[in-house]
Structure 1
């Protein structure tokens, strides 16, 4: 099994295309980080001049809370929490997350979509290309079973996704560290408890969580592309259909939920984004974190079962 995985990794990393994709990922990481920093400077708000903005924000929050207009309880509580955190930042000289290197790293997490795109390209090609070029016969004459061959391809694809994620995160830390002079390296994450007291946490954990939550969609989209590649033996179809669903996932999800929430909540991409549960705002009534995880697990099993069933029973000559 280990040799099969090693063989599949060699196929991926020996291609010039792979390293072109890695270079593109690093380039986009630099562009996103630099443009974000440039926008702050051009707007007259460089990361070292954050105190006046926070002071103005605290005054605005105070005016909203002390105004004559009666605010709903949830909004009033939210404004109180923001005001408490803002005052705590000013008192303890803690800059906003956006004005630190970790803020830049967190913004770069949006590029996980590119990692998904690049991995989908690899996943779509890993099985379909074997049939296109006829090399599948050379694999099947080995003593390894078809199930092991398919599993090695899937593992290699996920390892490639992990490699790209590590490259993205390491590049974002290094690039934003240089851009922000490594300011805020040990900056805390500020939250409030039930009594309204401000608590300090570890900001890097929040950044890692932002990356981790995006990995859920990556795994599901790549598994979908892998299944299409295995079933239809078409890398073009696998890439096209996977990216079509990924890019239009949000409007399709909103449309399905608006038409019929009881049906729409079972749509794959209605459950890949787990961040609404952190804020306590699910997309539809009856959706919980456990529900979404269960739905994703069912899709995951179905996708892999279809891949295994078709690949192990397909006539190679067909």
Structure 2
């Protein structure tokens, strides 16, 4: 109960800051911008999607027969042909951009903006208490230090979940109002390891959100650790943003040079969707392997944070 009260207190402090409301406004703006881009660039979906899909299969077959097409490109074309054929065989329309659920699918792709917000919150929720001189007042209460730090981290995760849910609900409402549900597909089809899979589009949204949320948990823990270690939110923000948005590129480059240790880096394991609706970019990686790696790093990040916070003197 004491931790819950501390979380409520952290949330109240966060909601009083303009930063969170600016973040909410930016999320609304991103949805509106996605809507404008969709209306401007996306043509209305064809009345006869089956005919269009059959034409795409025919054109892709011609590309497959051409010389000089790289193997990687041929693999992608072959996968798309399998998906198109599966749709035709099972009468499953594509997830068009100008439908309610197609719009939601586009919008959730912008959830990296929320990750950026969570990095900023995670990096500042501890360090700013030191900067403002309020940390001493917080620790004067008859509360164990670990509970204070835990409440701050749980507050970050709670608000990360709220922002993700807010984005999804807002996208659904806007998509429903503007596009409606005519010709909307409620099934999601994808190819993984040469096999075609079919699932509910809502399951697809949930798994995408869950995977992204796990990534937020990890990057928030990293930013939290750096912020607690150095009491410097600028350093924590800079390092976390670099790892979040450049980590996958770094991992791919190292993998190209045959560096086997790359699969042990935490930022190449945060995208669990690569196992659900795709295949890992680095050989030797499985979803079980990635979960173990993430757990180990999480324990390290939080362990360093708690040990540092417990031992640090507050002037």
Question: Unpaired runs of 5+ in structure 1?
Answer: none
Q: 2:88 matched to which residue of 1?
A: 87
Range that drifts further, 98-107 or 293-302? 98-107
Query: How far 1:27 sits from its partner (Å)?
Result: 0.9
Q: Distance in 2 between matches of 1:309 and 1:278?
A: 36
Give, in whole Å, the separation in 2 of the partners of 1:96 and 1:102: 11
Distance 2:15 2:307 in 1: 28
CA distance in 1, matches of 2:82, 2:111: 30
Q: Identify which of 292, 295, 298 aligns with 1:297.
A: 295
- Please give the residue correspondences for 1:213-292 in structure 2 after superposition, counting only pairs within 5 Å: 213-278=211-276, 281-292=279-290
| Structure-to-structure mapping, 1:74-113, within 5 angstroms | 78=79, 81-88=82-89, 92=91, 94-99=92-97, 100-113=99-112
Query: 1: CA distance between counterparts of 2:261 and 2:191?
Result: 36
For 1:203, the equivalent position in structure 2 comes to: 201
Task: Work out the CA distance in 2 between the residues paired with 1:193 and 1:232.
Answer: 43
Task: Report how far residue 34 of structure 1 moved.
Answer: 2.7
Task: Verify the 8 A CA contact 1:102 1:207 in the aligned structure 2.
Answer: no
What is the DSSP-based 3-state SS (H/G/I as helix, E as strand, rest coil) of the residue aligned with 2:264?
Answer: coil
Instruction: Give me the whole-angstrom Cα distance separating, in 2, the residues matched to 1:202 and 1:40.
Output: 24
The 3-state SS of whatever aligns with 1:248 is helix
Unaligned runs of 5+ in 2: none
Measured at CA, do residues 139 and 177 of structure 1 come closer, stay the same or move farther in structure 2, by a change above 3 Å? Answer: same
Aligned to 2:171: 172
Asked if 1:13 corresponds to 2:15, the answer is: yes
State which drifts further: 137-146 or 29-38: 29-38
Q: Distance in 2 between matches of 1:192 and 1:273?
A: 17
Compute the RMSD of aligned alpha carbons.
2.9
The 1:179/1:240 distance shift into structure 2, 3 A limit, reads: same
Moved more, 262-271 or 252-261: 252-261
Structure 1 residue 39 corresponds to structure 2 residue 41? yes
Deviations 1:147-200 (A, max 9, x none): 000001011111111111111111111112223223355622346999x9x886
Tell me, in whole angstroms, the C-alpha distance in 2 between the residues paired with 1:312 and 1:68. 65
Q: After superposition, give the CA deviation of every residue in 1:248-304 in whole Å (9 maximum; x if it has no partner).
A: 112211222233432111112111112332356322222111111111111111000
SS in 2 for 1:287: coil
Take 1:123 and 1:7, find their aligned partners in 2: how far apart are those partners?
Answer: 16
Shift of 1:113: 0.8
1:53–1:253 CA distance, 2 compared to 1 (3 A): same
Alignment pair present for 1:4 and 2:6: yes
The answer (yes or no) to whether the contact 1:223–1:304 under 8 Å persists in 2 is: yes
The number of residues matched between the two structures is: 307
